[in-house]
Amino acid sequence: MSKTKLDWLEFKGLNEQEIEEKAKEILGMMTLKEKAKQMSGDGTLLRNLIPLAIRYNMKPLPAGVNKNLGIPGVRFSDGPRGVVMGKSTCFPVSMARGASWDIDLEEKIGNAIGIEARAKGANYFGGVCINLLRHPAWGRAQETYGEDPYHLGEMGVALIKGTQKHVMACAKHYACNNMENTRFKVDVKVDERTLREIYLSHFKKCVEAGVASIMNAYNKVNGKYCGHNRHLLTDILKNDWKFEGFVITDFLLGIRRGNLAVNAGVDIEMPFQWRMKPKKLIKYLRNGEITEDQINESVLRILKMLIRFEQKGDADLYTKDKILCADHVNLALEAARKSIVLLKNEGNVLPLNRDKINKIAVIGKLADLENTGDRGSSRVYPPYVITSLDGIKKAAGNSIEIFYNNGESVQEKKDIIKNSDVVIIVVGYTHADEGEYVRTKGGDRDFLRLKQIDEKLILAVSAINSKCIVVLEGGSAIITENWNDKVPVMIMAWYLGMEGGTALGEIIFGDFNPCGKLPIVFPKSQDQLPYFDKNALEIEYKYYHGYRLMDKNDYKPAFPFGFGLSYTTFSYKNLNIEKNTINKNESIKISIDITNTGDSAGEEIAQMYVGYINSAVERPIKDLKGFLKFKLNPGETKTLTFNLNGKDLAYYNKDKNEWVIEEIEYTALVGPSSKTEDLLKINFKISS
């Protein structure tokens, strides 16, 4: 192959061996300087910083574009609730979608995001955020799917499968990125078993699914910045897991020294040339601080992914009319419907019957606010947002009077509130309270309760009219103990995207049966949670958090992991196992009969947990190992089957540096939530 401009369209249809060979050919054509330019974003700090600050990621952010050779480079678009560039479809935040527990839906969302990203000129989606929610005060909780590694892995893989039909995907932020305010400097101390089982297992699942890229986090792990951490990036990611893609840095402060980053396993510094700019890499090479083999390996990884993904999709699909098309907007609406969690419905206040309602009072500033979540790097710009008030009005129709008050003059409107058939109070958080930390906005939360003004509003309004529906907006758990006994209905509405209000109105009036379930524990108090200090410069991450910590300490949460109500009811019976003993390399089928015992069709999420009897090491009382989402009509029964692999029951032996599957007795627990009383149990053994 002569050194002429390449036609990347010629690379379509290549198999894996041919992709490898073609990448090596291209690598052989490149000068050292050209190879070094592949390892950083295009442009310089001075040239690009101001445009990024004015409007982040308005256009694809390029890295490694080589016009002479025709190399298209990596063209970055951020996420995860949609394409950040320009105007795009705004989906619910990831935490909300985590509450849907719907992997098929998440793959469809990924497909839509991939199409819109490609239509806007990107070939890379940096929005598969799978950082585990260790503590609900984390400011960017909304960007991830929840607290459980298994659930995180399943949802992350689904998004990857969807987006990678069209563009390269990136799983982030690797690893132990679970605090916001001190994310650039906090040192996370974590033992190897906890690291592997709790904080890395979902990343491993994404690697096994073929994710194209991994983004390293800002923080330190056991004394080393993630971008300088060879144990994370090379020993585990590239050697143990056999990761074939490339590693990019988080932006600006993802690394501090280029030579340390290259030696650790970083392949591209983003979003521009700085600590790994070509001149520096060549200098490091000449000084013996890095090797040309390391540069070649990084560039080969990048080229292979560029060639592989150039073959994806159909060019005719990526047209401007696909951006914000009806199918994508309807998908955003479906996601919002399935993300809403009905936490409480005493006396079956919901759904509201339009024929029996004349007047509704809607109270609270957030009801009339376009509240789609954080306004940091994940912000998506839709052309419109349906607010809660908009959605309630639309669903109510013309025959019901809607009175709105922002909550500042409740006593003056006491008679109106008292004479309303129902009162809907919308409270919670905004981007100013939680999100990416920028000066005084966003960041980690100081408390998990509502603001005092919101709690006072709920107490004041419920004292006037007891038929209250409280709608909570936010990205994570909210403690409700000060007021939850005063209201009959609570709805967790998260940040629901551009069609969120429509979905809320439909659920309140019964046009859609709620089916979301919590992907995190809602505690009664912060004493039930791990230690958290948003200003900490050093912190230890222990083995237990979330529902596992609740189980260990026998705490009773306000609302357990996996919990959510419906307008119908389901019964779980006849838990069966195909055989009582399996070997370590086998899988086992566990089945259960589930019946819709109510009067309306509904979707249910059956969850399977596993407990460990007489383990040689301390293990959780139970942990999630499977879930299935399905729909049942009234009176209908389905037999569901879970597949459980022996390897999924292993723990990491940090002394031997290996995974161990114990030959002990296990308990399979199946039910509608993690609450012990909700679960049916059956035992089985693993033997050699």
Three-state helix/strand/coil letters over 424-464: EEEEECCCCCCEEEECCEEECCCCCECCHHHHHHHHHHHHH
Q: Are residues 356 and 294 in the same domain?
A: no
* Number of independent structural domains in the chain: 3
Residue 678 has pLDDT above 90, yes or no: yes
From the list 65, 164, 53, the residue with the least C-alpha distance to 107 is 164
Q: What is the DSSP string of 634-673?
A: TT-EEEEEEEEEGGGG-EEETTTTEEE---SEEEEEEESS
Whether the CB-CB separation of 605 and 643 falls below 8 Å is answered with no
pLDDT digits (tens, 9 = 90+) for 158-215: 999 999 999 999 999 999 999 999 999 999 999 999 999 999 999 999 999 999 999 9
Domain end among 553, 582, 599: 553
Q: Are residues 671 and 611 in the same domain?
A: yes
Question: Is position 563 within any domain?
Answer: no
Q: Are residues 616 and 539 in the same domain?
A: no
Average pLDDT over residues 40-59: 89
Residue with tokens 């054509």: 29
Q: Are residues 580 and 513 in the same domain?
A: no
Active-site annotation holds for 250: yes
- pLDDT of 7 reads 78
Residue 640 has pLDDT above 90, yes or no: yes
Whether the CB-CB separation of 112 and 163 falls below 8 Å is answered with no
Q: Are residues 198 and 294 in the same domain?
A: yes
Q: Are residues 232 and 175 in the same domain?
A: yes
Task: Find the largest Cα–Cα distance for the chain.
Answer: 84
pLDDT digits (tens, 9 = 90+) for 276-316: 999 999 999 999 999 999 999 999 999 999 999 988 888 89
From the list 3, 78, 44, 8, the residue with the least C-alpha distance to 381 is 78
- pLDDT of 10 reads 78
Amino acid symbol at 524: K
CA dihedral sign of residues 460, 388, 84, 112? positive
* Secondary structure class of 128 (helix, strand, coil): strand
Instruction: Please state, rounded to an integer, the average pLDDT across all residues of the chain.
Output: 96
Question: Is position 244 within any domain?
Answer: yes
Amino acid symbol at 608: M
- pLDDT of 409 reads 87
Burial 637-658 (b: 16+ CB within 10 A, else e): eeebebebebeebebbeeeeee
Q: What is the chain's alpha carbon radius of gyration, rounded to the nearest angstrom?
A: 26
Residue 439 has pLDDT above 80, yes or no: no
CATH code of the domain covering residue 643: 2.60.40.10
* Secondary structure class of 505 (helix, strand, coil): helix
Residue 49 has pLDDT above 90, yes or no: no
d(CA 21, CA 76): 26
d(CA 416, CA 395): 21
Return the percentage of the chain with pLDDT > 70, whole number.
Answer: 99
Asked which of 271-280, 434-443, 552-561, 607-616 is least confident by mean pLDDT, the reply is 434-443
Question: Is position 564 within any domain?
Answer: no
Domain end among 265, 299, 321: 321
pLDDT band at 3 (very low <50, low <70, confident <90, very high): low
Whether the CB-CB separation of 458 and 427 falls below 8 Å is answered with yes
State residue 91 phi and psi, 5-degree precision: -85, 165
* Angle of CA points 605, 611, 612, to nearest 5°: 160
- pLDDT of 475 reads 98
d(CA 333, CA 326): 10
Determine the angle formed by the axes of helices 388-396 and 500-508, rounding to 10 degrees: 40
Q: Are residues 453 and 311 in the same domain?
A: no
From the list 633, 627, 629, 640, the residue with the least C-alpha distance to 674 is 627
pLDDT band at 12 (very low <50, low <70, confident <90, very high): confident
CATH code of the domain covering residue 364: 3.40.50.1700
Question: Is position 86 within any domain?
Answer: yes
pLDDT band at 46 (very low <50, low <70, confident <90, very high): confident
Average pLDDT over residues 111-125: 98
- pLDDT of 47 reads 82
What strands lie across the sheet with 246-249, from one edge to the other?
Answer: 61-63, 74-78, 124-129, 168-174, 213-216, 246-249
- pLDDT of 618 reads 96
Q: Are residues 40 and 82 in the same domain?
A: yes
* Secondary structure class of 372 (helix, strand, coil): coil
Cβ neighbour number for residue 161 with a 10 Å cutoff: 19
Segment 525-533 long-range contacts (CB within 8 Å, at least 24 positions apart): 525/479, 525/481, 526/447, 526/448, 526/479, 528/553, 528/555, 528/557, 529/135, 529/136, 530/134, 530/135, 532/134, 532/135, 532/137, 532/179, 532/444
Residue 2 has pLDDT above 60, yes or no: no
Find the domain containing 112 and state its range: 8-321
Q: Are residues 363 and 224 in the same domain?
A: no
Burial class (CB in 10 A: 0-12, 13-18, 19+), 421: middle
Residue 615 has pLDDT above 60, yes or no: yes
Average pLDDT over residues 137-141: 98
Question: Is position 464 within any domain?
Answer: yes
| Token pair recorded at residue 54 | 């004015």
Average pLDDT over residues 12-18: 89
Average pLDDT over residues 464-479: 98
pLDDT digits (tens, 9 = 90+) for 487-537: 999 999 999 999 999 999 999 999 999 999 999 999 999 999 999 999 999
- Residue 166, preceding peptide bond in cis (omega within 30° of 0): no
Q: Are residues 175 and 281 in the same domain?
A: yes
- pLDDT of 393 reads 98
Domain end among 553, 580, 603: 553
Whether the CB-CB separation of 198 and 543 falls below 8 Å is answered with yes
pLDDT digits (tens, 9 = 90+) for 220-253: 999 999 999 999 999 999 999 999 999 999 999 9
pLDDT band at 440 (very low <50, low <70, confident <90, very high): confident
* Helix spans in 43-93 (H): 45-54
Residue 1 has pLDDT above 50, yes or no: no
Half-sphere exposure for 478 (CA within 13 Å, toward CB)? 28
From the list 226, 133, 138, the residue with the least C-alpha distance to 536 is 138
pLDDT band at 4 (very low <50, low <70, confident <90, very high): low
Question: Is position 561 within any domain?
Answer: no
Question: Is position 38 within any domain?
Answer: yes
Q: Are residues 542 and 582 in the same domain?
A: no
Given 102, 250, 390, 444, which residue is catalytic?
250
CATH code of the domain covering residue 177: 3.20.20.300
| Token pair recorded at residue 421 | 């058939």
Whether the CB-CB separation of 249 and 269 falls below 8 Å is answered with yes
Question: Is position 196 within any domain?
Answer: yes
Q: Are residues 589 and 539 in the same domain?
A: no
Residue 334 has pLDDT above 80, yes or no: yes
| Token pair recorded at residue 487 | 């209201």
pTM: 0.97
pLDDT band at 441 (very low <50, low <70, confident <90, very high): confident
H or E element that contains 194: helix 192-194
